[in-house]
A and B are shown apart, each in its own frame.
Chain A
């Protein structure tokens, strides 16, 4: 099975900060990497698929990059509505594992 590891597990940032979350795969997954945002009591939301494709309706301050085993999610200028937990997920092979999540909190 492919293991997905995110870092950091949590971070505190201020409005307007640039934030980067890293996701590492235990083996190459090409660019089959997705990012989700999850807020308490809400359904998860797809932000980015296939490493860097922005899902419709997602603000352009979100961007993704990387390949093979190392990937990033960047929020260029953190907004109040961005405080949430972010998950990466590989869609390369079953089981389609998620990372453990990164909680983005207000500093």
Chain B
């Protein structure tokens, strides 16, 4: 059974940093591209970032480019999102999600975690 478990959320002041983690199980983690998607309170889903399965290719939303870094450690079956220079508007529930297929750059997201909440407030 595929499972994705996010952690690392919390409250942080504007300008601060957080690192989110997503531990994966039930599939060959190293082969699949993975993504982060967020949902701000009362808002819709927003794609944040994706990372390829092998060479670490990455994509970012314009709203986080230069501030967020996605990475993965296949030895730990873990996806990360390093967030810095956080803004109030980054407040959201952050989901990690697995690609349906192995193709990089084609985020059809078939499994999602339950999310971890990030609150940016002074």
Contact = CB atoms under 8 A, between A and B. Distances in A.
Interface of A: 1, 32, 34, 36, 38, 43-46, 49-50, 55, 85, 87, 89, 91, 94-101
Given A44-B95, A91-B106, A1 B62 contact: yes
A55 B62 contact: no
Interface of B: 35, 37, 44-47, 50, 59-62, 95, 97, 100, 105-110, 112-115
Contacts of A101: 44-45
21 contacts: A1-B62, A34-B109, A36-B109, A43-B112, A44-B95, A44-B97, A45-B112, A46-B100, A46-B110, A49-B108, A49-B110, A50-B108, A89-B47, A91-B106, A91-B107, A95-B59, A96-B35, A98-B37, A98-B44, A100-B44, A101-B44
Nearest to A55: B110
Which secondary structure dominates chain A's binding surface? loop
B50 to A, nearest CB: 7
Nearest to A32: B106
Contacts of B50: 94, 96
